[in-house]
Each structure stands twice: as C-alpha cells, then as structure tokens.
Structure 1
C-alpha cells in the first residue's frame, strides 16, 4: 500500500559536534511520523557521529569531503525519490543546488547557518576583488524553493547581499533540542563560576573574553568547552594572562546541561552569530548570559535584566560580570521556553514542508 506521507531527505556534511548538525538531526528525528517519512544523509563518516538518533534512517556516504560525495548524493536522491530535500552548510548547499536542476518534481530547501556576508569578510584575509563563493551563492540560492534563516538579521543579510526575494525566505529559530531541567539552587560559596561553550574559532571572540577575565578582580573560575582551529592561540593567551589556574578546558561533552547548571553566568564573546544554541540552552537551565550586542540572533534571545545582558564594549562586559544582580532562574528559563521550545519550532518546520509541497 502506497504511503501518503511526505518523503524528506535531510543532508548534512557530517554529525560532528556543531549547531547545524544538532538542530537538523533533531528536526529530522522528531517530525510527525504520520505526516512525514524522513531520511538523513550524511556525507561524512559514521565514526564521527556525535548524536544519537532513534527514529530515523541514517545513511553515511563515508566521504572525507563534500566534493567527493556529489555523485553519491545524486544516486541517493534518484533512488529515494524524495518530495523535499533540506540541506545545511554553505558548501554542501551550493553542490545540492546544482543537483536540483535534475529533480524538477522535488522541492529543495537550504538552511543557512550564519551571516554569510560577515563570515566572508571576517575570514577573507586577502580581500580578493572577486569572491567566487559569493558568486556561487548568488546563483545557488535562487535554485532553492525556500531558504531558512535562523534570525531576522540573517534574513536581511540574505536579501541585501545575495538578492534573494524576501518571500522565499522563512525565519525559523533553533529549538531547545535537548531536555534541560531548571537548576536546583544558585551558587552560594562566593566563587563566581563562569562558562563558555562553543567552537574555538576566530569569530567566537574567546581572546577578548580572556582579556576581560584578566581584569576581573574577584574570585572566579572559568570553564571553556569546545575545540577548534584557534585552540593553540587561546591556550597561549591563557598563559600570557596568567589564567591557567582559573580555567578548566574540556574538548567536548554530552553533559551540556550539567555544566550549564553548575555555573553562574554564560559568557559569549562572538563578533557575529547565526542563532547561538548555547545561549538558549544556558537560559533553559536558568543560567543568565552576558553577550556582545552583535549582528545575528543573539539579540532575539537575550533580554536585558531578564535573562542576561547585551553589552557594547569590553569595559561594560566587565562591569556586568561584577554586578550583584539576583537572577530569577525560573524567569530566565521561561523567557526562552515560550519562544524556542521543541513543539513550537518543529511545528514551524512541518508547516514549511507542507507549504512548499502545496506551492
């Protein structure tokens, strides 16, 4: 008997620890099974998988790079005959957009993960006159039936810099994808406990957080969780600032909720963000956030004096760390649950899939 469910293939480069990997695999694993038949296609290797998926068929192409997996993706789509394909990651989306011309009856959706124009400028050291990735993005975006942006800032970036029609962009924030419980009690031992979780890459601004902490004249301990290309530079700065005894570094953990609950304040030093999962996760356990007011989704999460502070300068950041505000953990939690809980975000994805099928 033929199923009437909508067949969706989600494609990711890998299942390594990361925001896009966590959110897309969560959505794929938790759609309404009465309406949708989901498959997850991973270009990378099964040995790298960091997320446990229980309700979905996962296929690994075991490729080292997206470029080497294009033919395999093509063959998979021919065999699967999906109604909808959703992809995340700019390079992968560009490749899949090129394949979309061969599947005229399939709807293709791209989920963007950052503010592309800022990301390009931030890492383009040579300042080339011709940015080939920007050129390819301009072409590929218009091959998609819909583009998902994680924040309003990202939507405006796509409209302004990549000539995407605003009616083709849907804003869907990230969900609180795990079950985070409200922490039982606040810290009363006098030692201020601070934490940051995220990729150790340049745009995350860890060096400026370390500079701020080097000026903090009160007892504290800082937990830094994450790995990435700036790891050696960050450890060198930790030594230079004399912070080695005050910092614990952890490469990766699946016990995110535990560490967030054990700390007093989450610190974010990013220069721009797509939609930072770590902030809604911190707030969901009742731990407030101090972050720079930068382009991206941060300002859609942090509400001053409710669940944290947005600041403009390093000096202001330091002042807020030292402030003696008494936070209401339940209020912090409610501020994100009412906007980003799983059922709300999953429903938005389901509505988008139904909409694109009925176009």
Structure 2
C-alpha cells in the first residue's frame, strides 16, 4: 500500500477559523490508512483545537518578542525551520494557510522539489501591505495550486496572482455535538473576535433599537482588543443586564442550541465558520451581505436574511421580524440545517485531498 505524506502549515492552533479548518482536515485525513498527516506550526502558542493522536504536530522551540529586531531574526529562523522540516519529511504535498505566512512558506520552499499549495483565509480584496502584496503577486504564481474559499475569492485571486490552478472549496463543517437543551431561550447570539472586522459596535446599536424586546438578551462570544470598549458602550446604553460577553467556548454547540437567533455583522470575511455552524445547529440568521461568504450560505428569505452592508435600519427590521414571529424562526432554522449535508467534513476534506494529490 502506497502511503502519501501531507504537511499542513499554519501559524498556530489557537482559536480561529483557519485553525478550525486545519484541525478538521487533519482529523479526517488521519483516519485513512494510506495517509500520514503532519501539522507544522510556525509559532509556539497554546492549542485551542485538538487533533487525533496519529496526527504529528511539529512546532518551533524558538520564540520571539514584540521587538522588531526579534521579529526579524525569528522570520529568518522560521524560513530555515520550514525548509529543514520539509526536507526531512519529504511530503507528497504541502498546504499552507494564512496570507502573510503563505509568502514565508513559499519563500522557504524555493528550490525544493515538493508540490506546494496555499490558501488565503480572509477576503482577498484586503491589502497585505506593499511588501506582502508584491510577494503574493510573485510567489503565488509559482505555487502548484491555490485554494479559495468562495468563487468570488477565486476570481479575485486569479486577477492578483495569474495562477491558472485555483479551486474554490468551501470550509468543511465539523460534526455538531448534541447537548441536553430542552428549550431555546430568548437569546440573540453572535460569535466572533472583538475586533473591528466583526463590527460588534454596530450590532450593539442595532440591538438597542429593537422594540418590545426587553425579554431578549444579546450574547457575544469572543475575545479581542475591543472587549473593554464594547463593554463600556453597553453600559452607556443601559444594556448591562441584557448584553453579556463570554470568552470563546469549546462546547460552542451548547450556546448555539440554547439561543433562538444568530446575528452576523462582519464587514468582511473569508468563509464564516461561525455562521455555518449556527445554521447547522438550526438557528435562523440575520447577516450582513459582506464580502465574502454569507451570500453563499444564506438564501435570502428561505434559510435566513441577508442585509446590505451597514444598512442598520433594514437589519433592525429583519431582526424585529424574527423576534416577533415564531413560525418564521422555525422555518428558517429547519432550512438552515441543510448545510450539514452540503458542507460535510467528509465531503469537503475529500475535495481538498483530490486537489493537492491529483
């Protein structure tokens, strides 16, 4: 039996969408007797996601500080670390995640005879800065293939890189864990880091404008630099008893299954894991139609509501409709569950494998 060796490269396994996808792919592939899976981490951080015992994790022993000189020397060291590790493992394919790190990986593999693939995990319209934009333009063209998360992202990446082998593959959906939740509560839920991209200030403003909703609560699950500012905003609006903040939860399905509505106000995305997981748990959703991802998951008026980006008035109205209409919530929620078939981890992980090992 021929055994293929696959290396996945990512900065860390801390909480995040890219990290979740890597862990799902590694776990799915590791169940195959003809595959040996390695994950190469580029920084030393606590692991939020776990992988199967037969997945080998390789992480650097070196660390760096916020000092620019320290970061520079670490970049040089990590180039050598990647190059040395790949030469030792001799994989059949390397798949790297995350934009700026993809450039580092491609640089490190120059001159090594290995199939190399990269995947950007956010909206490819976003600029990476002068240096990394130029590197992406030059290095991505020489990659054996690029994996985009949406068809829109695929088109943008082709314009930027001119790589002829780009495939759009959505994120795999992990298996939903059923919890003993007997009744959903009047909770409007969102999950995402407390950062500008997630636009949670606007969400708090939207929640404050709902009418006859004193018996509803907003739950924000995530961490980030804006947490303190968001808490102050909640207090200023007199919503402290109705808005709560929680750190990321490993049993996140419990919170999906306890809530009645999921809201998503991001300004941009790659492919929103939190949104698809909420839908898989049967939650009706109201989401901004941001680039990219929500419009590929939500059929407006069938399994959720799509709202023009930053149209707060319409977002308030759509959310108000869901609050007031049990039947509409149930209808959206039942339709939303269909994502479990379309985006199953078994199916999507096979698409990835077919692309990088063909």
Q: So what's the TM-score if we normalise by structure 1?
A: 0.88
Note if contact 1:177-1:342 (Cα within 8 Å) is conserved in structure 2. Answer: yes
| Structure 1 residue 57 corresponds to structure 2 residue 56 | yes
After TM superposition, give the deviation of residue 141 of structure 1 in Å: 1.0
After TM superposition, give the deviation of residue 236 of structure 1 in Å: 2.4
Note if contact 1:114-1:274 (Cα within 8 Å) is conserved in structure 2. Answer: yes
After TM superposition, give the deviation of residue 102 of structure 1 in Å: 2.2
For these two proteins, the number of residue pairs brought into alignment is 336
* Structure 1 pair 184–48 and aligned structure 2 pair: CA distance change class (3 A): closer
| Structure 1 residue 168 corresponds to structure 2 residue 177 | no
After TM superposition, give the deviation of residue 159 of structure 1 in Å: 2.0
**Structure 2 alignment gaps of length 5 or more:** 65-73
After TM superposition, give the deviation of residue 240 of structure 1 in Å: 2.3
Q: Which structure 2 residues correspond to residues 237-276 of structure 1 after superposition, within 5 A?
A: 237-276=233-272
Note if contact 1:114-1:275 (Cα within 8 Å) is conserved in structure 2. Answer: yes
Note if contact 2:43-2:60 (Cα within 8 Å) is conserved in structure 1. Answer: yes
Instruction: State the distance in 2 between where 1:108 and 1:280 align.
Output: 28
**Structure 1 alignment gaps of length 5 or more:** 125-130
| Map of 1:135 onto structure 2 | 134
After TM superposition, give the deviation of residue 119 of structure 1 in Å: 5.3
Moved more, 260-269 or 25-34: 25-34
**Partner secondary structure for residue 241 of structure 2:** helix
Q: How big is the alpha-carbon RMSD for the aligned residues of Structure 1 and Structure 2?
A: 2.0
Instruction: State the distance in 1 between where 2:267 and 2:348 align.
Output: 26
Note if contact 1:150-1:171 (Cα within 8 Å) is conserved in structure 2. Answer: yes
| Map of 2:82 onto structure 1 | 73
* Structure 1 pair 245–341 and aligned structure 2 pair: CA distance change class (3 A): same
| Map of 2:337 onto structure 1 | 333
Q: So what's the TM-score if we normalise by structure 2?
A: 0.88
| Aligned partner (choices 81, 89, 99) of residue 90 of structure 1 | 99
Note if contact 1:111-1:147 (Cα within 8 Å) is conserved in structure 2. Answer: yes
**Partner secondary structure for residue 249 of structure 2:** coil
| Map of 2:195 onto structure 1 | 201
* Structure 1 pair 172–182 and aligned structure 2 pair: CA distance change class (3 A): farther
| Aligned partner (choices 108, 121, 125) of residue 117 of structure 1 | 125
Moved more, 33-42 or 277-286: 33-42
* Structure 1 pair 301–185 and aligned structure 2 pair: CA distance change class (3 A): farther
Note if contact 1:43-1:62 (Cα within 8 Å) is conserved in structure 2. Answer: no
Instruction: State the distance in 2 between where 1:231 and 1:274 align.
Output: 23
Q: Which whole-Å deviations, capped at 9, do the CAs of 1:235-271 have from their partners, x for residues lacking one?
A: 2222222221111111121011000110011111111
**Partner secondary structure for residue 102 of structure 1:** coil
| Map of 1:43 onto structure 2 | 42
| Aligned partner (choices 288, 291, 314) of residue 292 of structure 1 | 288
* Structure 1 pair 116–327 and aligned structure 2 pair: CA distance change class (3 A): same
Moved more, 303-312 or 272-281: 303-312
| Map of 1:102 onto structure 2 | 111
| Aligned partner (choices 6, 9, 13) of residue 7 of structure 2 | 9
Note if contact 2:280-2:340 (Cα within 8 Å) is conserved in structure 1. Answer: yes
Instruction: State the distance in 1 between where 2:237 and 2:34 align.
Output: 55
After TM superposition, give the deviation of residue 26 of structure 1 in Å: 1.4
After TM superposition, give the deviation of residue 184 of structure 1 in Å: 6.5
Instruction: State the distance in 1 between where 2:192 and 2:132 align.
Output: 25
